[in-house]
Chains A and B, each alone.
Chain A
Amino acid sequence: MTYRILRRGVHPAEAGYWLALLAIFLVFPTHLSLATTALIFALFALSYDLILGFAGIVSLGHAVFYGVGAYSAGLLALGGVREPISGALLAGLTAAALGACIAPLVLLFDGLALMMMTLAIGVIFYEAANKLTWLTGGDDGLHGIVIDPLFGVFRWSVYGYTSYLYVLGWLFVLFVLVRTIVGSPFGAALQGIRENTTRMYLVGAPVRLHLFRVYVMSAFVAGIAGALSAQTTQFVGLEVISLDQSIDAMVMLVLGGAGRLYGGLIGAPVYIVVRDWASAWNPYYWMFVISALLIAVVRFGRRGILGAADGLADAARRYIARGVP
């Protein structure tokens, strides 16, 4: 399989994916809370794919933007801005502004140094969130978040109907945005940087500027994901800004297939569902199941579930082409 940096039009299977997400609403009405979590993580993994999968920026601190988005949305709601869509947008913009401040520092580095830099920044923000109890609630988190009904009409019920459709709407809109960016001439240049950064400098590309722009956009999307988590759970805990949260996004993305638009969108739900099953089966060893799954996918798929699916599809095509009865 090869990466193709100039994308073709919409594939029919894509419609299937989004219809399946709608169908979940009807088929599993009792599991919508879990499904909502999966979609929020899918959005977070999508934001991470923008920098890791498409631009080749290996960051271990992406939860900073998710966390800042979550705290911003929580604080906005507690401060009286209770309209959900504008709240999420403001939270996303806050994360993007933070991304614009961090990017010049982070993008000086690449490889291992970049990972250490982002790890350090992640730890600093986690500790800050832990210590600034007057702002973040520290260990106790932010409680009592109240959000106005969606469009002033749809109330947030315990069954999570509104939450699920609200998050699905955001995921779809932001996916279309990311899809557009990745498929644009700018997206092609990003993938050129991922493939051969030195050469991109030497074809006259403003590499730093390209990376800066994608980093800020990724922070924006991650911030919205965090905001959705705050709004739908009505709670912001320290874990939203933890290293675990960053690692989770990375695992989900690798599981689904990094550098693929649907990598996070497939990987996150699989991760969340497997984690749910495994922890119901055994609350102590569920991480074992996840790890085994990851090893299997990386060993046999290399490019995640989507990479493995491509491999199978290719094999099937060859099998059919050889003239099987």
Chain B
Amino acid sequence: MTATLVVRDLCKRFGALTVSDHVSLTLPAGARHALIGPNGAGKTTFLGLLSGTLSADSGTVVFRGQDITREAPSRRVKRGLVRTFQISKLFANLTVFENFYLPCNELAGTSANMLRPARRNGAVIDKADAMMADLGLLDVRDRLAAELSYGQQRLVELGIALCLEPKVLLLDEPAAGIPSGETGIILAAIERLPPEIAVLLIEHDMQIVRRFASGVTVLVSGSVLMSGTPDEVMESQEVRRVYLGRTGRRRLAGARDA
């Protein structure tokens, strides 16, 4: 299997604080990998380094054979390395449709066009509509993103990423903070992702990790504690000691029984 994303010895320091300490990770095409770790372990920082919003001090990020460690975020997106955000960063004052239109517009390269009416940009509009239909958002097509329920906002967040046709998709706690009644929609959407996309998922909920991921990497204080299958990780005494704690053990037990 060819590796889509290869991360080697990625380091990042904020002053004296090391937030990423020689992190290495390989994602083959079609991977479903989870990144777990206690709060402050550097998971979101790691996504920032991969997507280019933060610059690495040392180490390399290789995407489909190309070194992209120093590339601008927008270039990485064009290559197909796309992330979502833990705290939704939607176009809050635009409609759901417009939230889908803008990424499709950039991906199709039509955003340089100044003379054609945007509303006749047929291929882009069709794609945005198709993507909304996929995620069950057509009912709220013309509502402002800010007016949606939190769960629907997370769907829009995911939708913006999917409009960019990612080859590697980095999901930052896509289901965090969603009322339990709504988590089903987002998990179903994640499970229906095209199989060839490699997905890296940051997630706290071990049930979701087990259901979704075939591999898990545990990050503690900016460095990799261990990598393995979900079962291996959950069995590890060390992981239990530093990360899962008492409530985690309870959740873990629940996940195993499920």
**What residues make up the interface of A, taking CB atoms closer than 8 Å to B?**
2-8, 180-181, 183-189, 191-192, 195-196, 198-207, 210, 213
Contacts and interface: CB of A to CB of B under 8 A. Distances in A.
Nearest to B119: A6
A206 B160 CA distance: 17
A4 B75 CA distance: 28
A186 B111 contact: yes
A189 B119 contact: no
Contacts of B102: 188-189, 192, 200, 203, 205
Contacts of B106: 189, 200, 203-205
B114 to A, nearest CB: 4
A188 B89 contact: no
A203 B160 CA distance: 8
Nearest to A195: B91
Given A185-B118, A188-B118, A196-B89, A204 B113 contact: no
A185 B113 contact: yes
A207 B73 CA distance: 11
A126 B163 CA distance: 47
B89 A198 contact: yes
Interface in B83-128: 83, 89-95, 98, 101-103, 105-107, 110-119, 121, 124
Contacts of A181: 114-115
B51 interface: yes
Nearest to A213: B114
Nearest to A179: B117
Contacts of B78: 204
A180 B115 contact: yes
Contacts of B112: 185-186
B95 A184 contact: no
A270 to B, nearest CB: 26
A202 B53 contact: yes
B144 interface: yes
21 contacts: A2-B144, A180-B114, A181-B115, A183-B118, A184-B117, A186-B113, A187-B114, A188-B102, A192-B91, A195-B91, A196-B91, A199-B90, A200-B106, A201-B74, A202-B51, A202-B53, A202-B83, A202-B89, A203-B163, A204-B74, A206-B111
